[in-house]
Amino acid sequence: MLSPEAFRESYPEDELAEELPDSPIGSLRDLQYLYGKLYTLATTGGGEYAPYLTPDAAGDLVDTDDSLIVVRVDVSGEEPQLADDDIGPVQVRRYTKDLIQQVGHCKYPAARGIDHSVTHQAGRNSDPEKLARYAKERLTKWATDDVVTETADEHPDGWIIDRLAEIGDNETALETIEETLTRKLGGESATSLLTVQIKTESDGDYQWPGDIDVFREAMRQRKLSKLVTKNKAKDSSGDATDLVTGRPARTVGTSEDPQNYFLGKQLEKFPGLDIENAWRSHPISEDAAITVMNAETFVEACTYRTFGAKVYYLPYVFGRLTPETVYQLYGLLYRVVEDGGDTTPIEQAHIDQREQDLADQRFRFYVSAVMPHQMSRYDVFGETLNGRLHYPKELAFTHNRFVETVSVFNTSTEWTAPLPTNEKWGLLSGSDEQLHAVATGWYFYQTFAERDDDAADADDPRIEALVSVLSGDAISVDVLLGEYVDRIIDDQTDEDDHEGFPAFLVASQFAQLCALADADDLDLLKTTDSSKEPITYEPSYERHTMDNHFAADGGHPAEPKLESFINDTPALSPDHDDDPESVSSERRGAFLLGALVGDIGSYQEYSENRSTTLVDQYPVKSITRSRIKKVTQETVAKTLTYTRKEKKQSGIYPGTKAEHIVERLRETILDPDPDDWEIDTDDLRFYYALGVTYGMNDHPDWNQTDSDADDPAETEEEH
């Protein structure tokens, strides 16, 4: 395949412009056609027959020993005969790059049968006996194939193929081929292409199949014949307007497709399919169909697997195609192919954009995911041509900015930030790999309920979320909360890997939720439930908003910290309450209960040395509307017990333990009756879990305290 520099040199702007489609990319077929056209130009060049060749099929044979076996036939005389010159009837040589065009190989990807071209690819390490059989079949099988003989009958040079078939009837000649080939191979096995050379003039040279028009036309017709007989069709073809070029043509209905679309068994693409009339439902011309098939190398390079599905992320030029933009597109596709799958096409597009200073709006991306349903059947979902690199890139950037800078995860005070961070957790570390995580779906794998990828189905919410982000569509808040809660419950109840409450998981989920809401006004969150609408709003956290919350009279920092977090979190803020009994108020109550459970649970663990705490006693799965009031009463009672105990021991405890939480709880849960609440269970449980995480992290920042003790003047100056 030509390098981008060689491609530009081989196809100057005026020449490339003649090869490009006239109209902008408007469908997947248009995109596949462009890919196929670029691949053909980069591998086999231009011309009528170039799209029919398959140079990559035997690409690994180039420059290897004994990789090309040539049967040499002289048809210049009255009777065809094997070559009797110094080279002899059979030549064994290396298959080199300069011979790719000349041997004219066209692979037929079937377990049985011969390749479309007279040139045939043998299996790996075939023994001499098998190679001899393949060599003879160039004369006995390919030359006598029905499609080949029909082509020969209609072509002025068809007599060449007829002569080839004649010598195939000569048993002496066939024995000579086998004996000569076996001798030249020395009894060793080989991996080879097998072809012929033909001498048509007595004083002429031996010619390769790629130099003889009737061989190329026979190859073309053999390949085309397969486009109308797939899935047991007899002849699915007819005259119609080609959906790619817009021109009248003979169209085919059962052609192959790089993405397995529009096949007979794919019922969502062909509802009520009559296989013989498939060309009416999806008319694509013969040459366009072949060009589309040639898109496979680029399509597969821009494809990756995750969650048991294949995700397609195919770049294309937005708007009118110009040689310059196509050069850039080819460069991107070439680098993705050469990368060999080490990076996703999303990351490669980002690298190209950054290194070559490409405008983000220049490219769009076809996005879809394909889930195998059963043998030869596929579910296609999330399909769009409106994907943009901006969507996953902006989400990755927003997530990292959120974790690294805002007060929820950062503070310069003597008190911890509301939520914990951990460098070993990708979603809490501001990782450089965040774009990779978003692109591959790892971003959602870390926070959604775990599933067996081998048993995944098309309703997998991880795939839906991934495709939504890649295409700029919104994810349902209900789906997120449901997945989050299921994962929290699974992690909290996993007896084989039980390490206590999954605080880092909850913090990661909340960071993700906020990043989706805040990603450069992309509107990546949606809900049909007005009560959940505040969750979709971007939070108003700023960098280190806790810094100025110390009371002038030396008050406790935990109270303004809680006040600030609630007010700046739209899902919890009273500013979004329609009335005192709104769902936001109920959500706030669940969060406050969790905060108290987390706070007192931590106290029990570290001060009371208890192995089972309130956090274990009231796991997330136990929290429901019918139980929340009872849990609150018991938690407050336990809080008062520890308050009296500490006051008795020290005699100086100024008030109720965790008073800043308890007083707000009285307003939200103890006085109103939760039996009348309207909040959904997943909503209730997630914000309860968020509260537990907050409460467990609500304590002095010991690292900050130690630092301040070393240089109190510096701290005072900073604040």
Query: In this structure, are 174 and 247 located in the same domain?
Result: no
The predicted structure's pLDDT at residue 452: 81
The predicted structure's pLDDT at residue 111: 63
Q: Using one digit for the tens of pLDDT, what is the confidence trace for 488-537?
A: 999 988 755 556 899 999 999 999 999 999 876 778 999 888 889 999 99
The predicted structure's pLDDT at residue 635: 93
The predicted structure's pLDDT at residue 195: 97
On average, the pLDDT of the chain sits at: 85
Query: In this structure, are 264 and 163 located in the same domain?
Result: no
Q: Using one digit for the tens of pLDDT, what is the confidence trace for 659-675?
A: 889 988 887 886 667 87
The predicted structure's pLDDT at residue 301: 92
The predicted structure's pLDDT at residue 590: 95
The predicted structure's pLDDT at residue 711: 42
Q: Is residue 273 part of a domain?
A: yes
Give strand pairing partners of 470. Answer: none
The predicted structure's pLDDT at residue 716: 34
Q: How confident is the model at residue 277 (pLDDT cuts 50, 70, 90)?
A: confident
Give mean pLDDT, residues 78-86.
Answer: 92
Range in 304-318, 339-353, 551-565, 596-610 the model is least confident about: 551-565
Q: Using one digit for the tens of pLDDT, what is the confidence trace for 244-266?
A: 888 888 887 767 777 777 654 55
Q: Is residue 355 part of a domain?
A: yes
The predicted structure's pLDDT at residue 712: 37
Angle at 218 between CA 215 and CA 223, to 5 degrees: 125
The predicted structure's pLDDT at residue 233: 64
Contact 515, 398 (CB under 8 A): yes
pLDDT at 177 over 50: yes
The predicted structure's pLDDT at residue 623: 95
The predicted structure's pLDDT at residue 660: 86
Q: How many CB atoms lie within 10 A of CB 260?
A: 17
Phi-psi region of 543 (alpha: psi -120 to 50; beta: other; left: phi over 0): beta
Q: Is residue 149 part of a domain?
A: yes
Query: In this structure, are 279 and 193 located in the same domain?
Result: no
Domain boundary among 370, 388, 406: 388
Domain span at residue 285? 1-43+238-388
pLDDT: which is higher, 584 or 683: 683
Single-letter code of the amino acid located at 330: Y
Query: In this structure, are 568 and 600 located in the same domain?
Result: yes
Query: In this structure, are 180 and 305 located in the same domain?
Result: no
Contact 101, 88 (CB under 8 A): no
Q: How far is CA 444 from CA 7, 306, 461, 719, in A?
A: 39, 11, 9, 38
Query: In this structure, are 214 and 253 located in the same domain?
Result: no
Q: What are phi and psi of 123, to 5 degrees?
A: -70, 170
Q: What percent of the chain has pLDDT over 90?
A: 49
Top-ranked range on mean pLDDT: pick from 148-157, 376-385, 580-589: 148-157
Q: Is residue 612 part of a domain?
A: yes
CA torsion sign for 603, 607, 608, 611 is: positive
Query: In this structure, are 173 and 249 located in the same domain?
Result: no
pLDDT at 713 over 50: no
Q: How confident is the model at residue 308 (pLDDT cuts 50, 70, 90)?
A: confident
Q: Using one digit for the tens of pLDDT, what is the confidence trace for 337-395?
A: 988 777 888 888 888 777 766 555 678 999 988 877 665 567 777 788 988 888 999 99
pLDDT at 432 over 90: no
Q: Using one digit for the tens of pLDDT, what is the confidence trace for 532-573?
A: 999 999 888 865 444 444 443 445 678 888 998 999 999 998
Q: What percent of the chain has pLDDT over 70?
A: 87
Give mean pLDDT, residues 682-698.
Answer: 95
Query: In this structure, are 186 and 292 located in the same domain?
Result: no
Q: Is residue 294 part of a domain?
A: yes
The predicted structure's pLDDT at residue 232: 63
What is this structure's pTM?
A: 0.82
The residues, ordered by sequence, that sit 6+ positions from 27 with a Cβ below 8 Å of its Cβ are: 243, 385
Domain boundary among 388, 410, 433: 388
pLDDT: which is higher, 239 or 481: 481
Domain count, the chain: 3
Q: Is residue 700 part of a domain?
A: yes
Top-ranked range on mean pLDDT: pick from 69-73, 123-127, 449-453: 69-73
Contact 283, 314 (CB under 8 A): no
pLDDT at 654 over 80: no
Q: Is residue 435 part of a domain?
A: no
Query: In this structure, are 361 and 259 located in the same domain?
Result: yes
Query: In this structure, are 71 and 215 located in the same domain?
Result: yes
Residue carrying structure tokens 């460069």: 331
Q: Is residue 562 part of a domain?
A: yes
Buried b (16+ CB within 10 A) or exposed e, 143-173: bbbebbeebbeebeebebbbbbbbbbebeeb
Give mean pLDDT, residues 591-606.
Answer: 92
Domain boundary among 360, 388, 416: 388
Maximum separation of any 2 CA atoms in the chain, in Å: 122
The predicted structure's pLDDT at residue 555: 55
Query: Residue 297's closest CA among 17, 4, 42, 585?
Result: 42
Contact 245, 285 (CB under 8 A): yes
Give mean pLDDT, residues 133-158.
Answer: 95
Single-letter code of the amino acid located at 347: E
The predicted structure's pLDDT at residue 617: 93
Q: How confident is the model at residue 400 (pLDDT cuts 50, 70, 90)?
A: very high
The predicted structure's pLDDT at residue 196: 97
Q: Using one digit for the tens of pLDDT, what is the confidence trace for 436-465?
A: 999 989 999 999 999 887 766 767 899 999
Q: How confident is the model at residue 699 (pLDDT cuts 50, 70, 90)?
A: confident
The predicted structure's pLDDT at residue 521: 72
Query: In this structure, are 382 and 294 located in the same domain?
Result: yes
Query: In this structure, are 253 and 377 located in the same domain?
Result: yes
Q: How confident is the model at residue 719 (pLDDT cuts 50, 70, 90)?
A: very low
